[in-house]
A and B are shown apart, each in its own frame.
Chain A
Amino acid sequence: AQSVTQLDSQVPVFEEAPVELRCNYSSSVSVYLFWYVQYPNQGLQLLLKYLSGSTLVKGINGFEAEFNKSQTSFHLRKPSVHISDTAEYFCAVSERNSWGKLQFGAGTQVVVTP
C-alpha cells in the first residue's frame, strides 16, 4: 500500500519570497501524484498532478512541482508567494493499478506575512 509524508506541518514565509513544500511517498508500484490546496472554510482544489512524462509539472497560480523517482519525492515550489497563498497544502498519491484509492498527507499550513 502507498503512503505519503509531508515533512513540514507549518511553513511561515514572507510575501514575495520563494516557498518549497516537501512531500515524500512510498509505494511498491508506479504512482500518480497530486498537490491540492485548501483555503479556509473551503473544500480542496487541485493545484497540479503528475501522471507520466516530464518530471517538472506546472500548475495553477504559479506553482510547480518536480517528481523525483529515485528520491520518491514530489516537492511543491513557488518562486514568489502572495498573501492570498496562505492556505493548507496537501500532497496525495494513488497507485496506478488502483487509482480509486487516494492517500493524502497530513498537510502543510503555509502562512504568508507582509
Chain B
Amino acid sequence: EAQVTQNPRYLITVTGKKLTVTCSQNMNHEYMSWYRQDPGLGLRQIYYSMNVEVTDKGDVPEGYKVSRKEKRNFPLILESPSPNQTSLYFCASSLLGAPNEKLFFGSGTQLSVL
C-alpha cells in the first residue's frame, strides 16, 4: 500500500531535549516536505527536499533541521525543542517536477514540549 509513515504519532517531551520525528515513504517520490499545523494558522512549511541531499527552507525553518540521505526517509530534527514548537506536524511526499501529482500526507505527529 502506498503510504507516508510518520513516527511517533504522539510525543511529549521537555524543553531542550533533542528529538527526531521520522518520515518514510514507499512510493519512490523525489519530493518530500514537512509542515506544522497550528489553529488559525493552517499549515506552514518548515523544510522541503527535491531529492537526495537537496533540501531547502520553507516559511518557518527556525529551530528545525532536516536531512535527506536516502530517497525514502526525511527525518525532522529538533535540536533544542521549545514550547512554541508544540504543534501537529505533517510529512508529505510527491513525484518531482510534477505539480499535477498530488501530495501524499502522513497521519501526523502531535508534539507537546513542556
> Are B42 and A105 touching (Cβ within 8 A)?
yes
Selecting from A13-21, A43-51, A63-71, A75-83, the interface stretch reads A43-51
Chain B, range 98-114, C-beta contacts under 8 Å to A? 99-100, 102-103, 105-108
Contacts of B2 in A (CB 8 A): none
Q: Which residue from A9, A44, A100, A107 sits with its C-beta under 8 Å from B105? A: A44
Chain B, range 59-114, C-beta contacts under 8 Å to A? 59, 90, 92, 99-100, 102-103, 105-108
Known contacts A42-B107, A101-B48; decide if A51 and B99 are in contact (CB<8 Å): yes
Query: Is the contact region of chain B dominated by helix, strand, or loop, or is it mixed?
Result: strand
Residue A103 CB within 8 A of the other chain = yes
A45 to B4, CA, bound (A): 13
> Are A99 and B99 touching (Cβ within 8 A)?
yes
- In which size bucket is the chain B interface? 20 to 34
A46 to B92, CA, bound (A): 12
- In which size bucket is the chain A interface? 20 to 34
Known contacts A44-B90, A100-B33, A100-B50; decide if A106 and B42 are in contact (CB<8 Å): yes
> Are B100 and A100 touching (Cβ within 8 A)?
no
Contacts of B59 in A (CB 8 A): 101, 103
> Are A43 and B56 touching (Cβ within 8 A)?
no
A90 to B37, CA, bound (A): 11
Contacts of A42 in B (CB 8 A): 107-108
